[in-house]
Amino acid sequence: MDHVVFDAEPLIAYYWDEPGSDAVEAIIDRVEDGQLKGSVNTVTCTEVRYVCGRDDPQTAQAYVTRIRNWCDVVTAEDVWESAADYKRDYNVALGDAFTLATAAMKEATAYTGADDDFDDVDVTVKRFREDGV
């Protein structure tokens, strides 16, 4: 794996220090150190900001700014048609469709949670909660 596209679930888990956050931290460290390319879609940034910002909007905003500084930011406009195809073809959540479309565009691995939304998609997927943690 040399390029990851972050889905919201691992970024939220890292923010809240949930189970599996150590695995996410290891990936983030590699991205921050330049050992691994990272990308994120603006839709994912939106999800992370509103979920993490429920308790402290300013800290959540700073976290999203940090994410956007580590990663190549892909706008929803750049992949909206492909995201619509993923939503239609795989019946995934809308945010997940943007992650998949971004990963396809970047020829990267989608870095996701353990849910089955990503089963059988035509993009390489790495789950930070492989064992359902």
pTM above 0.75, yes or no: yes
> How do the domains of the chain map onto residue ranges?
3-127
The CA distance from 80 to 86, in Å, is 10
CATH 3.40.50.1010 fits 3-127, yes or no: yes
Residue carrying structure tokens 């892909």:
74
Identify the burial level of 98 via C-beta atoms within 10 angstroms of its C-beta, where 0-12 means exposed, 13-18 middle and 19 or more buried.
Answer: buried
Residue-wise pLDDT tens digits, 63-86: 999 999 999 999 999 999 999 999
Tens digit of pLDDT for each residue in 21-31? 999 999 999 99
